[in-house]
Amino acid sequence: MAQSGEREKVVRDVQIPEAITVGELANRMAERVADVIKALMRMGVMATQNQTIDADTAELIVTEFGHRVVRVSDADVEHAIDTVPDRPEDLRPRPPIVTIMGHVDHGKTSLLDAIRKTNVAEGEAGGITQHIGAYQVTTESGAVLTFLDTPGHAAFTAMRARGAQVTDIVVLVVAADDSVMPQTVEAINHAKAAGVPLIVAINKIDKPDADPQRVRTELLQHEVVVEKLSGDVQDVEVSAKTGQGLDDLLEAIALQAEILELKANPARAAMGAVIEAKLDVGRGPVATVLVQNGTLRKGDVFVVGEKWGKVRALISDRGETVTEAGPSVPVEVLGLNGTPEAGDVLHVVETEAQAREIAAYRENLAREKRAAAGATATLEQLMARAKADKAVAELPVVVKADVQGSAEAIVQALEKVGNEEVRVRVLHSGVGAITESDVGLAEASKAPVIGFNVRANAPARAAANQKGVEIRYYSIIYDLIDDIKAAASGLLKDEVREKFIGYAKILEVFKVSNVGKVAGCLVTEGVARKSAGVRLLRDNVVVHEGTLKTLQRFKDPVQEVQSGQECGMAFDNYDDIRQGDVIEIFERETVERRL
């Protein structure tokens, strides 16, 4: 199990002001300056130790080195957050945080349910756990494990992107009757990118056509070598249906966790990540927070993303009110002033004033950023944009996804589709099944509804049928984006290109009754064609553009005259032609464009 080596690195909260020198950035990450300069070079930035880089570049570097970014600015209000590193003697072991990933229908949800059920003693708290986005179980040998029960790869990456690395171990579920599929590979890549060790759960082993060996060999192609093939990745055969192998899987996780030597300091101000948040009708804003360090207690004052609050109540995954939650414990937190977003990081601070100040500062920053990005602006700006927008064709869409992270990722990707002529407009994006109201909204704007890992409920399906609203389902983001791109390309106006086909010179001008002036020409280059467009050039200046009324050879109308031949030409609605003028003959072709 060589995986432990990769994880010895300490993940730091690295404060990044608006500008920072390369040397100071290296210092704050406790990385070698040379490594930072190398990483910058890989990004195409040439900078020496004393050179200043901007916050965005610094953030990329910090993320690349696997640390957490904490943006600060001249308003150093954020300093109220305690970021002092823990002393080794204060650290205590903490449970691992486990995320289950894998291809759709391979049994992620079933496995999470089965694990949860086997571990809740009957009678205890009614034997029911409530869904808060994560839960804890105890293995037979007494190890405590924390499971995130929001499977979904996009959520995993989106949380990571927001600076909340909340997974220590990934359980990769592969169905024994289906083997390695695209999202299996995606999951492997996500885990690798995050530097998180894998455990392979070969599921559906109860099925007659189960072929666990095939799973093992196919994983080899993706550099996952399981123990049964003498590799260092644990693999366990399980059945979410019969419960077979579940205990082995839990022990495998516990073993992997021991190797990782996960530690935290329960005696400091709490810090954690939001894994779910919602506005509850009865209880107000509620966030499920996974405590990552310190201990969160009732009465604690905290800031979380752009929101703040004071812990009014903490509720465990068993639905019980608790007074505190230590490292790796998921709890529902009540007492927020608004709903934060999944991936937001919670920090306990000392006073309400500090919390309010930091939240206000962050909100301001976010607003400025949005304004800069053009999301909201002054009235003049809006009007100017509305004017400019007239030329822009829009493809409206409604997006529903299984989790907040996916929805965000899709919206971001869709907003990038387009150019100055067409763009995708996301009318609404949200989490959960496609409802009648989504269909109504889509109908109003003649938009399709896109479901990512979600389906329309029955009334919505009926409404869509009746109103002729298109609903499209996807489970792979790239497919979704490709389709939308193709649809948006359909909105592009065809490009009209001109092709010169010939030149003619006017040798003489005749007046013909009933026709008007006719030019006696010599085609000097290419061909003259009756159907083509013509321009009259006098001393290389265009004096007229139009079409031909007649094209004749001798007295006969013709369609085409070749170079070197003489012909007669008369223009539609134009008479001012003179000897010596040159006629340029061109055709237009339309070319379909793609984004």
Question: Rounded to an integer, what distance in angstroms lies between the CA atom of residue 170 and that of residue 101?
Answer: 7
Q: Which tokens in the block code for residue 141?
A: 């040998």
* Nearest Cα residue to 423 out of 321, 492, 510: 492
* Cα three-residue angle 346-349-352, rounded to 5 degrees: 110
Identity of the residue, 203 or 328, whose beta carbon is nearer to ligand GDP in the bound complex = 203
Residue 312-351 contact track with ligand GDP, rule CB under 6 A, x = bound: ----------------------------------------
Question: Rounded to an integer, what distance in angstroms lies between the CA atom of residue 566 and that of residue 386?
Answer: 54
Strand 97-102 to strand 169-175: parallel, antiparallel, or no bridges (unpaired)?
A: parallel
* Cβ contacts of 42 within 8 Å, gap of 6 or more: none
Sign (positive/negative) of CA torsion 439, 443, 447, 448? positive
Identity of the residue, 240 or 534, whose beta carbon is nearer to ligand GDP in the bound complex = 240
Identity of the residue, 107 or 133, whose beta carbon is nearer to ligand GDP in the bound complex = 107
Residue 52-91 contact track with ligand GDP, rule CB under 6 A, x = bound: ----------------------------------------
Identity of the residue, 4 or 109, whose beta carbon is nearer to ligand GDP in the bound complex = 109
Identity of the residue, 211 or 258, whose beta carbon is nearer to ligand GDP in the bound complex = 211
Shortest CB 403 distance to ligand GDP, Å: 12
Question: Rounded to an integer, what distance in angstroms lies between the CA atom of residue 431 and that of residue 442?
Answer: 16
Beta carbons of 543 and 573 less than 8 angstroms apart: no
Residue 230-259 contact track with ligand GDP, rule CB under 6 A, x = bound: ---------xxx------------------
Q: Can you list the pairs that 148-151 forms with residues at least 24 positions away whose Cβ atoms lie under 8 Å?
A: 148/97, 148/98, 148/99, 148/100, 148/275, 148/290, 149/100, 149/112, 149/116, 150/275, 150/276, 150/403, 151/99, 151/100, 151/101, 151/102, 151/108, 151/109, 151/112
Residue 375-414 contact track with ligand GDP, rule CB under 6 A, x = bound: ----------------------------------------
Q: Which tokens in the block code for residue 328?
A: 């790796």
Q: Per CB under 6 A, does 475 bind ligand GDP?
A: no
Is residue 428 packed enough to be buried (19+ CB in 10 Å), middle (13-18) or exposed (0-12)? middle
Indicate which single residue of 106, 116, 160, 190 sits in contact with ligand GDP (rule: CB under 6 A). 106
Q: Per CB under 6 A, does 108 bind ligand GDP?
A: yes
Q: Per CB under 6 A, does 109 bind ligand GDP?
A: yes
* Nearest Cα residue to 101 out of 167, 41, 35: 167
Shortest CB 111 distance to ligand GDP, Å: 7
DSSP 34-55: HHHHHHHHHTT----TT-EEEH
Q: Per CB under 6 A, does 292 bind ligand GDP?
A: no
Q: Per CB under 6 A, does 363 bind ligand GDP?
A: no
Identity of the residue, 244 or 563, whose beta carbon is nearer to ligand GDP in the bound complex = 244
Beta carbons of 497 and 558 less than 8 angstroms apart: no
Separation of CA 105 from chain center? 22
Identity of the residue, 110 or 138, whose beta carbon is nearer to ligand GDP in the bound complex = 110
Shortest CB 485 distance to ligand GDP, Å: 27
Beta carbons of 312 and 336 less than 8 angstroms apart: no
Residue where the block lists tokens 């977003």:
341
Residue 122-161 contact track with ligand GDP, rule CB under 6 A, x = bound: ----------------------------------------
Identity of the residue, 104 or 481, whose beta carbon is nearer to ligand GDP in the bound complex = 104
Rg (CA), the chain: 33
Identity of the residue, 209 or 420, whose beta carbon is nearer to ligand GDP in the bound complex = 209
End-to-end CA separation in angstroms for the chain = 47
Phi, psi of 438 (to 5 degrees): -60, -45
Rounded to whole angstroms, the maximal C-alpha distance in the chain is 110
* Nearest Cα residue to 536 out of 587, 577, 586: 577
Q: Cα separations (Å) of 185 from 155, 180, 238?
A: 16, 7, 20
Shortest CB 105 distance to ligand GDP, Å: 4
Could you tell me where the beta strands, DSSP code E, fall in 246-283? 263-264, 271-280
In the window 183-222, what residues touch ligand GDP (CB under 6 A)? 203-204, 206-207
Question: Rounded to an integer, what distance in angstroms lies between the CA atom of residue 487 and that of residue 270?
Answer: 48
Of the candidate spans 105-113, 212-220, 291-299, 391-399, the one that interacts with ligand GDP by CB under 6 A turns out to be: 105-113
Residue 431-470 contact track with ligand GDP, rule CB under 6 A, x = bound: ----------------------------------------
Identity of the residue, 14 or 173, whose beta carbon is nearer to ligand GDP in the bound complex = 173
Of the candidate spans 75-83, 107-115, 362-370, 570-578, the one that interacts with ligand GDP by CB under 6 A turns out to be: 107-115
Indicate which single residue of 11, 45, 104, 413 sits in contact with ligand GDP (rule: CB under 6 A). 104
Of the candidate spans 56-64, 103-111, 314-322, 443-451, the one that interacts with ligand GDP by CB under 6 A turns out to be: 103-111
Q: Which tokens in the block code for residue 180?
A: 């390695």
In the window 526-565, what residues touch ligand GDP (CB under 6 A)? none
Identity of the residue, 3 or 184, whose beta carbon is nearer to ligand GDP in the bound complex = 184
Task: Give how many residues touch ligand GDP by CB under 6 A.
Answer: 15
Shortest CB 126 distance to ligand GDP, Å: 24
Per CB under 6 A, residues contacting ligand GDP are 102, 104-110, 203-204, 206-207, 239-241
